[in-house]
């Protein structure tokens, strides 16, 4: 099912209201776009899309690289338009920790993988869970806590999220 | 923490002063956001229905789902252990921890492990246990228990957390702002998670088809606990199992909205463990993540601990449909003022806490706080799985009254016999439960009874023997009841448009006779022929004391008296909203379906009925209008039934300028405010309403309220004497 432009603008609006930046880019412009988005040092896991990382990003980092990194770049399998959520699969190359430890997380989602709502997303997740025991995080905005008397971002996870939406 | 009478009042007073202010501010904030978040959801009711159906089905098929889940988990390479009770669950987790030679366990917030006292068990083995949820960590440092299902440190202000950190860690530069406190906690906890050997989490839902567990969180600590150490133990009650991943989305859409008013929390982890993520060693500067191994261990510990017995219990089963969103705590006025340390048991707190504690700990624990639920029903419409929370509390109260045996005799029948062996039921419960008898006696002997009840020795005796607080005014019984008055008068309607039966509730009949007379005059002025037969009280009073069999007895009698009128095409008009709510909700438990439907279809609240008559062309001029300024407080159960607007519209159509209280609760809820232990709490809750009605905008308005308890409470709170709205519109 093709993603409609209404779905995409709903997604962008939802991200906006979560305080999450979103940059749309093409495969050719991907590296330059990412260069502008990341805070150094940046680490990323290999992306399942036909794009190249810029020089500035350490691809497939070590755990020590990860600990030093300010930005983590990971693929998102889906976007959920009405909530501005992204689904982040846990992979053997470390997408889970890379999306969690650095202060800025940059999920990369294909525009064609943005679905309208949660039931649709869960439907797709359900298939992946039964086919290959997939684990995934539905991430909506940065990590947050209100336990210390006011809303604070970046409680344990990233304090900022910048979605890169890829037109392939 | 069993308490004697005076101690309980003192404990409530202490909690109201220390923890109350933070809890009130936070829970009210959650409520506001919930209302907005729910209003933004087009298919909210549909989702609730779906959620309810999924839970009913899952609990029904639980043993079979657990087996399916076992296969899924094992197929994925994990282990599932079904633990009978706390000791069994703790033993299993301790073994896993011992096998790993673990020095430190990091935990993500889990009420189920609180129920098991897992931390104590692990610490006894010398294991360092660290809670990583910021609120839960605060509670752990302070050596307290969580005071709310989802916001464990809700009772603490930022200042008190700052003090706690300063005392515990004595840092050079003590953190103060929320930002500073958060980064202080993140740094300390970050280090502890890094070197931990085992991560323990709860699970909000577990799907049988794939072995996927959903963890609903905001901070990211659950993800860190599950994935950073190479061993993950998830501990969850058996009731968390649902059939499939398809069933997740209604719960996910409802859970955060109902609790904190967020659309979705920041992270919903859908883990199908063991997860593929590589294990982490932050000192490793050689191996790229993709080449590190991901040799992970996963154990899912499903805990019975009384739940399977709850499943067999027709009354408590519904408790298992609870998804622990905390809405019923947030929306509860009493909870807002004392919080979960007063309104809670060993583990669970708030409205549904009684059901949980009765099921997993036993009646004694539930009994300690069960009285805090006044049955006001404010929580009912907000429960994502449509649990009748007040009913569960009533059932537990009934069982507490009877002692341990569910099949015991209903020892309280008719008559006020406080000098007889009370058979386990507190005298105060007998008194309030038998208010009808008391009222009959009071009217028969008025004014002597009123005078007598008001004398110092009588008040002293009432307080000492049955716990009626001496600071509370007693109702004044009227010598001539509404039924007597009506019997002696001649109807003024010659060619009636409709015929009705005005239901003479105990208060209207014996105490608030004026509002009954006003109702008769109003209906007749609108061309309606009225009858006021003597009918037994609805059973609300015994029900609210947990005397279910007595209440059921009333229900049969009331229906018996009214059925003939309904058959004759007469509508039943009810003045007291809590009685209408009784017909509408609780009678479903007592009467055959057809009977209850007939009664419900033909019963109306008085102002709702007046509204209907006027809508259908009755003459507004027949009623008393005015341009007076009015301050109106609707009754809690009237709001649950969606009946507030009718009163407001009628008053406005007649020219009144109406301001409504948005404070839902008067703090009284039936007999609650009479009881010595709860009097101060009742007044404290009521203060919010008093404040709204003493502003420059409302301070001079005539005060009107629909419910008896609200009228009494407003009378105690304000210097103006409140009236029922029908008294404003009735022709003189
Ligand atoms: S009973 Fe309902 S409202 Fe209360 S915590 Fe459970 S799910 Fe939420």
Out of A107-116, B233-242, B336-345, B430-439, least confident range: B430-439
pLDDT score for B479: 79
**If DSSP codes are grouped into helix, strand and coil, which group holds residue B299?**
strand
Mean pLDDT throughout B222-236?
95
Q: Which residues pair with A163 in a beta bridge?
A: A22
Measured between beta carbons, which residues in chain A are less than 8 angstroms from residue B277? 90-92, 94-97, 135
Q: Chain B interface, mutation test: which of A128, A133, A158, most B Cβ atoms within 10 Å?
A: A133
Which is nearest to B159 in space by CA: B146, B137, B176, B143? B176
Q: B544 falls in which pLDDT band (50, 70, 90)?
A: confident
Question: pLDDT digit string (tens) for B653-710?
Answer: 999 999 999 887 887 766 676 777 888 888 888 888 888 898 899 888 999 999 888 8
Measured in Å, residue B664 CA sits from the centre of ligand 1 at: 19
The pairs formed by A10-16 with CB atoms below 8 angstroms and a separation of 24 or more are A10/A81, A10/A82, A10/A116, A11/A79, A11/A80, A11/A81, A11/A84, A11/A114, A11/A165, A13/A84, A14/A81, A14/A82, A14/A83, A14/A84, A15/A84, A15/A163, A16/A84
Q: Which residue of B has its CA nearest to A147?
A: B135
| Burial classification of residue B653, based on how many CB atoms lie within 10 Å of its CB (0-12 exposed, 13-18 middle, 19 or more buried) | middle
Q: Is the pLDDT of residue B6 over 70?
A: no
Q: How far is A20 from A22, CA to CA, in rounded Å?
A: 7
Task: Quote the tokens at residue B687.
Answer: 């203060």
**Residue of the nearest CA to atom 2 in ligand 1?**
B383
Measured in Å, residue B382 CA sits from the centre of ligand 1 at: 8
**If DSSP codes are grouped into helix, strand and coil, which group holds residue A30?**
helix
Measured between beta carbons, which residues in chain B are less than 8 angstroms from residue A123? 246
pLDDT score for B40: 85
**Residue of the nearest CA to atom 3 in ligand 1?**
B383
Task: Pick B161's closest partner by Cβ from A97, A148, A152.
Answer: A148
Element (H, E) at B391: helix B389-402
Q: A120 falls in which pLDDT band (50, 70, 90)?
A: very high
Task: Quote the tokens at residue B311.
Answer: 């499943």
| C-alpha triplet B202, B52, B540: angle, nearest 5° | 105
A150 and B CB contact within 8 Å: yes
Backbone angles phi, psi at B500, to 5 degrees: -135, 160
Q: Which 8-state DSSP code applies to residue B245?
A: G
Q: How far is B22 from B240, CA to CA, in rounded Å?
A: 31
Which is nearest to A125 in space by CA: B244, B215, B41, B66? B244
Q: What is the percent of chain B where pLDDT is above 70?
A: 89
Q: Is the pLDDT of residue A2 over 70?
A: no
pLDDT averaged over every residue in chain B: 89
Q: Is the pLDDT of residue B463 over 80?
A: no
- The complex's ipTM works out to 0.97
Q: B7 falls in which pLDDT band (50, 70, 90)?
A: confident
Q: Where are the alpha helices (DSSP H) in A22-163?
A: 30-37, 63-68, 95-100, 118-132
CB of B197 closer than 8 Å to CB of B104: yes
pLDDT score for B422: 42
Measured in Å, residue B389 CA sits from the centre of ligand 1 at: 8
Q: What is the percent of chain A where pLDDT is above 70?
A: 99
**The ligand 1 atom nearest the CA atom of B351:** 4
**The ligand 1 atom nearest the CA atom of B321:** 7
Measured between beta carbons, which residues in chain B are less than 8 angstroms from residue A139? 266-267
**The ligand 1 atom nearest the CA atom of B382:** 3
For residue B549, how many other CB atoms are within 10 A of its CB?
A: 16
Task: Quote the tokens at residue B177.
Answer: 């702002």
Q: How far is B377 from A159, CA to CA, in rounded Å?
A: 40
CB contact under 8 A, A126 and B283: no
Give the CA-trace dihedral at B62, B65, B69, B71, to 10 degrees.
130
Question: pLDDT digit string (tens) for B624-663?
Answer: 988 889 999 988 888 888 999 999 999 999 999 999 998 8
pLDDT score for B417: 38
Q: How far is B202 from B108, CA to CA, in rounded Å?
A: 7
CB of B698 closer than 8 Å to CB of B655: no
Q: How far is B533 from B572, CA to CA, in rounded Å?
A: 11
CB of A16 closer than 8 Å to CB of A38: no
The Cα-based distances of B135 to B198, B257, B335 in angstroms read 21, 20, 19
SS (H, E, C) B442-474: HHHHCCHHHHHHCCHHHHHHHHHHHCECCCCCC
CB contact under 8 A, B210 and A90: no
Out of A60-64, A153-157, B540-544, least confident range: B540-544
Question: pLDDT digit string (tens) for B429-449?
Answer: 666 666 677 667 766 666 666
Measured between beta carbons, which residues in chain A are less than 8 angstroms from residue B266? 139-144, 157
**If DSSP codes are grouped into helix, strand and coil, which group holds residue B223?**
helix
Tell me the best of B59, B384, B390, B396 to mutate to test the pocket of ligand 1, counting ligand atoms within 8 Å of each CB and taking the most: B384
* pLDDT greater at residue B507 or residue B332: B332
Q: Is the pLDDT of residue B510 over 70?
A: yes
Task: Pick B283's closest partner by Cβ from A64, A122, A143.
Answer: A64
**The ligand 1 atom nearest the CA atom of B259:** 8
Residues contacting ligand 1 via CB (< 6 Å): B 149, 258, 322-328, 351-352, 383-385, 387, 389
**Alpha-carbon dihedral sign for residues B462, B717, B722, B670:** negative
Q: Chain A interface, mutation test: which of B187, B225, B277, most A Cβ atoms within 10 Å?
A: B277
Mean pLDDT throughout B299-323?
97
Q: Is the pLDDT of residue B522 over 80?
A: yes
Residues 6+ apart with CB under 8 A from B720: B702, B703
Q: What is the pTM (predicted TM-score) of this model? A: 0.90
CB contact under 8 A, B245 and A96: no
Question: pLDDT digit string (tens) for A5-58?
Answer: 899 999 999 999 999 999 999 999 999 999 999 999 999 999 999 999 999 999
Q: How far is B40 from B572, CA to CA, in rounded Å?
A: 37
Question: pLDDT digit string (tens) for B575-600?
Answer: 999 999 999 999 999 999 999 999 99
A44 and B CB contact within 8 Å: no
Instruction: Give the position of tokens 């994925």.
Output: B76
**The ligand 1 atom nearest the CA atom of B379:** 3
Task: Pick A133's closest partner by Cβ from B182, B244, B272.
Answer: B272
């Amino acid at each position: 099912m093709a993603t409609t432009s209404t779905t995409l603008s709903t997604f962008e609006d939802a991200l906006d209201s979560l305080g999450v930046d979103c940059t749309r880019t093409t495969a050719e412009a991907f590296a330059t776009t990412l260069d502008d988005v990341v805070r150094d040092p940046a680490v990323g896991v290999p992306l399942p899309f036909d794009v190249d990382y810029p020089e500035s990003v350490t691809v497939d980092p070590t755990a020590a690289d990860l600990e030093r990194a300010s930005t983590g770049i990971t693929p998102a399998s889906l976007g959920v338009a009405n909530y501005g959520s992204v689904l982040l699969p846990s992979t053997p190359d470390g997408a889970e920790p890379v999306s969690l430890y650095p202060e800025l997380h940059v999920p990369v989602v294909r525009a064609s993988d943005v679905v309208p709502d949660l039931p649709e997303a869960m439907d797709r997740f359900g298939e992946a869970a039964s086919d290959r025991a997939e684990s995934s995080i539905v991430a909506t905005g940065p990590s947050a806590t209100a336990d210390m008397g006011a809303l604070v971002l970046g409680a344990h996870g990233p304090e900022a999220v910048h979605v890169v939406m890829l037109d392939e | 923490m069993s308490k004697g009478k005076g101690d309980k009042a003192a404990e409530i007073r202490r909690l109201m002063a220390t923890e109350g202010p933070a809890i009130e501010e936070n829970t009210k904030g959650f409520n506001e956001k919930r209302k907005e978040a729910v209003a933004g959801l087009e298919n909210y009711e549909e989702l609730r229905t779906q959620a309810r159906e999924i839970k009913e089905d899952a609990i029904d098929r639980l043993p079979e789902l657990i087996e399916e889940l076992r296969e899924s988990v094992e197929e994925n390479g994990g282990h599932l252990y079904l633990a009978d009770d706390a000791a069994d669950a703790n033993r299993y987790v301790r073994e896993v921890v011992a096998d790993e030679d673990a020095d430190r366990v990091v935990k993500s917030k889990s009420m189920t492990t609180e129920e098991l006292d897992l931390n104590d068990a692990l610490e006894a083995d010398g294991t360092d246990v660290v809670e990583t949820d910021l609120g839960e960590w605060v509670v752990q440092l302070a050596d307290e228990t969580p005071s709310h299902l989802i916001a464990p440190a809700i009772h603490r202000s930022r200042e008190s957390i700052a003090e706690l950190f300063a005392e515990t860690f004595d840092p050079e530069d003590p953190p103060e702002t929320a930002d500073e406190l958060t980064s202080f906690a993140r740094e300390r906890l970050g280090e502890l998670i890094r070197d931990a050997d085992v991560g323990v989490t709860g699970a909000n839902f577990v799907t049988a088809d794939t072995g996927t567990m959903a963890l609903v969180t905001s901070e990211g600590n659950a993800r860190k606990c599950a994935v950073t150490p190479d061993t993950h133990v998830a501990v969850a009650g058996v009731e968390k199992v649902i059939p499939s991943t398809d069933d997740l989305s209604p719960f996910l859409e409802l859970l955060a909205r109902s609790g904190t008013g967020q659309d979705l929390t920041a992270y919903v982890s859908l883990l199908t463990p063991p997860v593929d993520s590589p294990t982490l060693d932050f000192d490793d500067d050689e191996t790229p993540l993709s080449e590190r191994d991901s040799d992970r261990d996963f154990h899912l510990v499903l805990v019975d601990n009384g739940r399977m017995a709850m499943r067999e219990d027709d009354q408590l089963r519904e408790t298992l449909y609870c998804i622990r969103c905390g809405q019923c705590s947030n929306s509860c006025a009493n909870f807002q003022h004392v919080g979960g340390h007063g309104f809670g048991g060993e583990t669970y707190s708030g409205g549904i806490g009684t059901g949980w504690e009765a099921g997993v700990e036993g009646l004694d624990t539930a009994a300690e706080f069960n009285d805090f639920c006044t049955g006001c029903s404010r929580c009912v419409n907000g429960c994502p799985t449509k649990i009748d929370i007040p009913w569960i509390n009533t059932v537990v109260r009934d069982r507490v009254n009877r002692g341990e045996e569910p099949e015991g005799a209903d020892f309280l029948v008719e008559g006020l016999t406080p000098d007889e062996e009370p058979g386990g039921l507190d005298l105060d419960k007998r008194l309030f439960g038998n208010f009808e008898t008391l009222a009959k006696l009071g009217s028969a002997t008025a004014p002597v009874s009123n005078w007598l009840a008001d004398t110092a020795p009588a008040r002293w005796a009432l307080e000492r023997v049955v716990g009626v607080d001496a600071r509370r005014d007693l109702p004044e019984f009227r010598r001539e009841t509404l039924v007597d008055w009506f019997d002696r008068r001649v109807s003024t309607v010659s060619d009636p448009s409709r015929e009705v039966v005005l239901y003479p509730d105990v208060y209207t009949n014996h105490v608030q006779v004026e509002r009954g007379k006003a109702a008769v005059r109003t209906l007749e002025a609108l061309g309606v022929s009225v009858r006021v037969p003597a009918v037994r009280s609805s059973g609300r009073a015994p029900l609210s004391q947990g005397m279910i069999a007595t209440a059921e007895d009333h229900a049969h009698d009331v229906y018996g008296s009214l059925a003939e009128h309904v058959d004759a095409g007469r509508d039943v008009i009810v003045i007291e909203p809590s009685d209408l709510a009784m017909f509408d909700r609780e009678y479903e438990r007592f009467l055959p379906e057809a009977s209850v439907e007939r009664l419900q279809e033909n019963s109306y609240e008085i102002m709702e009925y007046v509204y209907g008559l006027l809508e259908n062309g009755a003459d507004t001029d027949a009623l008393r209008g005015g341009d007076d300024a009015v301050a109106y407080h609707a009754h809690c159960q009237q709001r649950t039934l969606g009946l507030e607007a009718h009163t407001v519209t009628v008053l406005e159509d007649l020219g009144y300028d109406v301001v409504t209280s948005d404070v839902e609760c008067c703090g009284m809820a039936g007999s609650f405010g009479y009881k010595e232990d709860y009097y101060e709490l009742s007044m404290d809750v009521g203060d919010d309403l008093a404040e709204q009605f003493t502003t420059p905008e409302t301070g001079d308005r005539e005060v009107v309220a629909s419910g008896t308890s609200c009228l009494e409470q407003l009378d105690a709170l304000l210097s103006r004497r409140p009236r029922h709205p029908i008294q404003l519109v009735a022709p003189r």
